[in-house]
């Protein structure tokens, strides 16, 4: 059975990843936090046998790095050098230079580094991707809105939509964008027009809205496919509309892990560690999402991923 270490025991570890790992075919060997007392409390809560005091103590086949984003590079690199496969929550790093250094460390180590872009595993977005498997749509409008801004909101929020745009449409060839803000590090709105080889894309990201909302509309080839996250997919042609709810939410047991792809990405990572297989969000691919995010930020008049 795979032995898994969890580095970082904040809210996403406690609410998403630890419950998912403990329900999977693996053994959580230990946890680690900057605050030993907090790590001991979480270990006791989840019945985890060990608290690591340093990365040198980690004795596992793979590790989940769920720490603050400015610590991602050093922690993940140290584990990779020790021959430990790493699942890393997004973003890879807060600067492109640090993200590229981490990518190079992963490739030099020969170990798997997977980045947590969970939306690629969400059932609704997986269905959307399959609808356009033969050819990309002609137009995509992606919206990611959430009330309350935060520091570098696009890297925390809109980067999911940027990653999905790449997954569906390929690599961007042209980017224009605009933004609204009082402080450029805490912008409230960003709108981008992104030209892909065969698709025109629009990204809308707002942090002054009323409620959380995530939606992608895609059009082309005589059909429309619209996702209202987390679970509704509408496929529309010229004769009918077919709407599918992809999780049994009405039955009362669908969890955020299922609906947004967290469980599926964890299972795919563990499978890849066991078999030497591939994942949907390897570091090399994820780095391109960070590069496109940087292009959008700069085009919108915001600080890029070097600040």
The pLDDT score that the predictor gives to residue 252 is 54
Structural domains in the chain, sorted by start: 2-116 (3.40.50.720), 120-270+277-299 (3.30.360.10)
What is the CB neighbour count within 10 angstroms for residue 201? 25
Using CA atoms, how far apart are residues 112 and 85, in angstroms rounded to an integer? 5
CB 149 within 8 A of CB 208: yes
Query: What is the pLDDT, as a whole number, of residue 119?
Result: 97
Tokens of 182: 């009082």
* pLDDT value at residue 4: 99
Residue 216's CB: how many other CB atoms inside 10 A?
25
pLDDT score for 9: 97
Bridge partners of 146, per DSSP, are none
What is the Cα–Cα distance from 241 to 253, expressed in whole angstroms? Answer: 27
Q: Is 81 exposed, middle or buried (0-12, 13-18, 19+ CB in 10 A)?
A: middle
Q: How many angstroms separate the CA atoms of 36 and 65, rounded?
A: 16
* The total number of residues written for the chain in this structure: 307
Predicted local distance difference test score (pLDDT) of residue 179: 95
Residues 241, 107: Cα–Cα separation, whole Å: 45
Residue with tokens 């490739």, as numbered in its chain: 107
Q: What is the largest CA-CA distance in the chain?
A: 62
| Six-digit token string for 280 | 């949907």
Q: Are strands 200-206 and 139-145 parallel, antiparallel or unpaired?
A: parallel
Distance separating alpha carbons of residues 256 and 297, to the nearest angstrom? 29
**Tens of pLDDT, residue by residue, the chain (307 residues):** 999 999 999 999 999 999 999 999 999 999 999 988 899 999 999 999 999 999 999 999 999 999 999 999 999 999 999 999 999 999 999 999 999 999 999 999 999 999 999 999 999 999 999 999 999 999 999 999 999 888 887 667 899 999 999 999 999 999 999 999 999 999 999 999 999 999 999 999 999 999 999 999 999 999 999 999 988 999 999 999 999 886 655 545 667 778 899 999 999 999 999 999 999 999 999 999 999 999 999 999 999 998 6
pTM summary value: 0.95
pLDDT score, position 251? 45
Buried b (16+ CB within 10 A) or exposed e, 243-269: eeebbeeeeeebeebbbbbbbbbbbbb
């Amino acid at each position: 059975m795979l032995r898994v270490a969890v580095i970082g025991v904040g809210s996403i570890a406690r609410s998403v990843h630890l419950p998912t790992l403990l329900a999977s075919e693996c053994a959580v060997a230990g946890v680690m936090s900057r605050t030993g007392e907090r790590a001991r409390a979480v270990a006791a809560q989840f019945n985890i046998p060990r608290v690591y005091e340093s990365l040198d103590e980690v004795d596992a086949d793979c590790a989940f790095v769920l720490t603050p984003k400015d610590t991602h590079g050093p922690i993940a690199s140290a584990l990779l050098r020790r021959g430990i496969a790493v699942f890393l929550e997004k973003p890879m790093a807060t600067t492109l230079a640090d993200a590229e250094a981490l990518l190079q460390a992963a490739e030099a180590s020969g170990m798997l580094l997977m980045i947590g872009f969970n939306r690629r595993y969400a059932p609704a977005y997986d269905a959307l991707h399959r609808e356009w498997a033969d050819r990309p749509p002609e137009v995509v409008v992606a919206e990611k809105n959430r009330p309350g801004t935060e520091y570098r909101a696009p890297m925390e929020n809109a980067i999911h939509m940027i990653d999905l745009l790449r997954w569906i449409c390929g690599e961007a060839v042209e980017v224009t964008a605009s933004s609204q803000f009082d402080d450029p590090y805490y912008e409230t709105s960003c709108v981008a027009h992104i030209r892909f080889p065969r698709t025109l894309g629009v990204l809308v990201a707002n942090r002054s809205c009323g409620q959380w909302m995530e939606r992608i509309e895609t059009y082309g080839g005589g059909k429309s496919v619209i996702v209202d996250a987390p679970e509704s997919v509408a496929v529309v042609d010229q004769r009918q509309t077919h709407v599918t709810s992809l999780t049994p939410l009405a039955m009362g047991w669908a969890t955020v892990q299922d609906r947004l792809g967290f469980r599926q990405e964890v299972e795919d990572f563990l499978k890849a560690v066991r078999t030497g297989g591939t994942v949907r969000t390897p570091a090399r691919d994820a780095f391109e999402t960070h590069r496109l995010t940087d292009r959008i930020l700069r085009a919108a008049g915001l600080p890029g991923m070097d600040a």
